[in-house]
């Protein structure tokens, strides 16, 4: 009996998701009222995020969905990693941006991307995906890389949060941007970074789910690095202080992540077109 969750059929819902992302991004870039309630620098960051969503995330999702329908194995990981990023990104929009005209669009994007992600995880056969990789797959190198990236970002965020807790103060960006908390801290510390480390641990043990999640989280790191670099560049372009060298740092992280991803997926068995 055909599974209720058929991923190859379900992935077509990437199209309406892409339309919603395009609407949110274009209006965020062009309509000043969208971020009028935000601190000016935070508003600039929002525009930078919209630019990345429009010109990087949305096209990647569409290309990935098209190639998955044609039977691509590699692009399933690209789709999954980009979808993780979309859930992450629009959770921040929903909880980290003041109520505006795009609120329902943000909610729709978050809901659709979240349930597409769940649908993939429900429908996937992890053991089958593990069988796609040969015995020479660089498991240790990949898991080590994921642990290092997670550790680096834990250090960055905790070096901001822990001193504030010890001194009984609020981190400066939270006060400056008039937020309750930094939603990026929440997403990274509670969900994203533990997810990266869990996927690394599963892959290290050659657990089937590790072969599903580890390549996807590498794609997530690539997209996230591009997004952060783009946000920094747009913020500086709009006249706010920033360290442009950080865009180089995140470009390097994206490049190294891409090399690791290529090294991993080149051990996929030859792809076959599916009916």
Establish if 164 belongs to a structural domain. yes
CA distance 200 to 158: 21
Q: What confidence tens digit (pLDDT) does each residue in 37-79 have?
A: 999 999 999 999 999 999 999 999 999 999 998 989 999 999 9
Q: Which two tokens stand for residue 243?
A: 């360290």
CA dihedral 94, 150, 267, 271 (to 10 degrees): 0
Give the contacts of 222 (CB within 8 A, at least 6 positions apart): 81, 254, 257, 258, 261
Inside any domain, residue 50: yes
Q: Report H helices in the chain.
A: 7-10, 14-30, 40-52, 58-69, 74-96, 103-123, 126-131, 139-166, 172-176, 183-186, 193-204, 208-237, 245-265
For 147, the domain range is 7-265
Per-residue pLDDT of the chain (275 residues; tens, 9 = 90+): 344 457 777 899 999 999 999 999 999 999 999 999 999 999 999 999 999 999 999 999 999 999 998 989 999 999 999 999 999 999 999 999 999 999 999 999 999 999 999 999 988 899 999 999 998 999 999 999 999 999 999 999 999 899 999 999 888 888 877 788 899 999 999 999 999 999 999 999 999 999 999 999 999 999 999 999 999 999 999 898 877 888 899 999 999 999 999 999 998 876 544 43
Gap between the Cα atoms of 173 and 181, Å rounded: 9
Q: Which residues pair with 133 in a beta bridge?
A: 268
Report how far residue 84's alpha carbon sits from residue 187's, in angstroms, rounded to the nearest whole number: 11
Q: Is residue 275 part of a domain?
A: no
State the Cα–Cα distance between residues 249 and 224, nearest whole angstrom: 13
Give dist(CA 238, CA 199) in Å, integer: 38
Domain count, the chain: 1
| The two structure tokens encoding residue 205 | 């043990």
Let me know if residue 274 belongs to a domain: no
84: CB partners within 8 A, 6+ apart: 117, 195, 216, 217, 219, 220
pLDDT tens-digit series, residues 235-255? 999 898 877 888 899 999 999
What is the pTM for the complete model shown?
Answer: 0.93
Tally Cβ neighbours within 10 Å of residue 33.
Answer: 9
Asked whether residue 161 is assigned to any structural domain, the reply reads yes
Instruction: Answer whether residue 272 is part of any domain.
Output: no
Residue 1 lies in a domain: no
* Residue of 219, 217, 199 lying closest to 209 (CA atoms): 199
């Amino acid at each position: 009996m055909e599974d209720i969750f058929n991923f190859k059929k379900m992935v077509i819902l990437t199209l309406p998701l892409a339309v919603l992302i395009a609407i949110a991004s274009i209006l965020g870039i062009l309509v000043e009222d969208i971020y009028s309630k935000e601190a000016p620098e935070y508003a600039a960051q929002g525009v930078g995020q919209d630019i990345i969503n429009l010109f990087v995330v949305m096209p990647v999702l569409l290309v990935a969905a098209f190639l998955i329908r044609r039977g691509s194995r590699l692009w399933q990981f690209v789709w999954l990693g980009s979808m993780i990023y979309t859930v992450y990104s629009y959770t921040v929009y929903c909880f980290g941006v003041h109520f505006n005209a795009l609120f329902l669009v943000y909610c729709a994007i978050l809901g659709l991307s979240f349930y597409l992600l769940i649908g993939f995880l429900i429908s996937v056969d992890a053991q089958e995906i593990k069988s796609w990789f040969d015995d020479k797959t660089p498991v240790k190198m990949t898991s080590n890389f994921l642990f290092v990236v997670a550790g680096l970002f834990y250090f960055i965020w905790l070096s901001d949060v822990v001193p504030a807790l010890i001194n009984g103060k609020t981190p400066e960006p939270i006060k400056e941007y008039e937020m309750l908390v930094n939603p990026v801290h929440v997403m990274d510390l509670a969900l994203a970074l533990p997810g990266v480390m869990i996927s690394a641990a599963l892959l290290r043990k050659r657990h089937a789910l590790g072969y599903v999640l580890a390549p996807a989280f590498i794609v997530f790191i690539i997209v996230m690095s591009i997004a952060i670099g783009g946000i920094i560049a747009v913020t500086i372009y709009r006249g706010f202080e920033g360290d442009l060298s950080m865009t180089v740092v995140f470009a390097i992280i994206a490049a190294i992540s891409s090399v690791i991803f290529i090294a991993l997926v080149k051990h996929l068995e030859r792809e076959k077109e599916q009916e």
